[in-house]
Amino acid sequence: MNPFEALSRWWITAAAVVITAILLSPFYWVLLGSFMTPAELFATHIVLIPTHWAVGNWSEAWTRLWPHVRNSLIVSAATSIGTLLFTAPTAYSVNWLKPRGRQALFSFMLVTQMLPAIVFVIPLFIVFSKINLVNTLFGLILADMTFTIPFALIMLSAYMKDLPYELVEAALVDGASQLRAFFMVVLPVTLPGLITVGIFSFLIPWGDLIFALSLITEGGLQPLTLELYKAVGQYGIDWAFLLPGSVLTAIPAVLFVIGASRFILAGVTRGAIK
């Protein structure tokens, strides 16, 4: 290795360390801030490590958030499952059965991905209020699926395009129906893509606030994000609850992604590279 290559590698490593430190600094502050007392949080000098570890912040946050964990799990899991049940056969049909209007469908899905979620809030609220879906978990699930389905369909279609159609043709020649070929041939080979879509479809409603804030007002149905939102009051912010509550809410999502990182990498890579 010549000196120029060694210097270039050193600069790249140093830049990567600096960028990583900058990106992780907010998470470091949130984590340590969750153990700080109000006096340390608002001190005029920088406090890198708490002098008095306020563990009570965590117990209080857990007590307030625990009743809402069930709601978030139901909404996120149902949204993920419903998205997969709808988009997997649709992506198969669009890619290999080639129905009419598939280009218009993809154009519509792409447009919905370009719009912010706030655009859908008022129309969904008007429709759901007329069919009694406001203040129901089912209504919140449907609202979240309006955002996860376009993303999932685009991603699964890109993934299936890279698969050889000869696999399906061989199954059809052997006497299998399109439905059997879909379940026995296509689903097993698209498992990484399905897992990736399922994870993203779980995480989107897990962190959703806009739809929950607009459609859920009853305390017993509110998800985690809506309970965290209550920490922001008219006269101040309850940092002693917001910081540990944010960490507690993020932990399941982080563990979920880390545990399935192999499938996520395989699904995203194959769906993006032809």
pLDDT tens for 73-116 read: 999 999 999 999 999 998 888 877 777 777 787 778 778 777 88
Half-sphere exposure of 171 (CA within 13 A, CB side): 15
| Strand partners for 25 | none
Considering the domain boundaries, does residue 198 fall inside one? yes
Beta strands in 7-142 (DSSP E): none
Query: Cα–Cα distance between 204 and 155 in angstroms, integer?
Result: 15
Question: Which residue type sits at 186?
Answer: V
- Render pLDDT for 119-148 as a digit per residue (tens, 0 to 9): 889 999 999 999 999 999 999 999 999 989
Considering the domain boundaries, does residue 20 fall inside one? no
CA distances from 18 to 10, 22, 25, 56, 214 (A): 12, 6, 11, 33, 40
Domain containing 189 equals 59-272
CATH of the domain at 232: 1.10.3720.10
Q: Residue 155 class from Cβ within 10 Å (0-12 exposed, 13-18 middle, 19+ buried)?
A: buried
- This prediction has a pTM of 0.82
- Render pLDDT for 206-257 as a digit per residue (tens, 0 to 9): 999 999 999 998 878 999 999 999 888 777 888 888 999 999 998 888 887 7
Quote the number of domains for the chain: 1
Considering the domain boundaries, does residue 64 fall inside one? yes
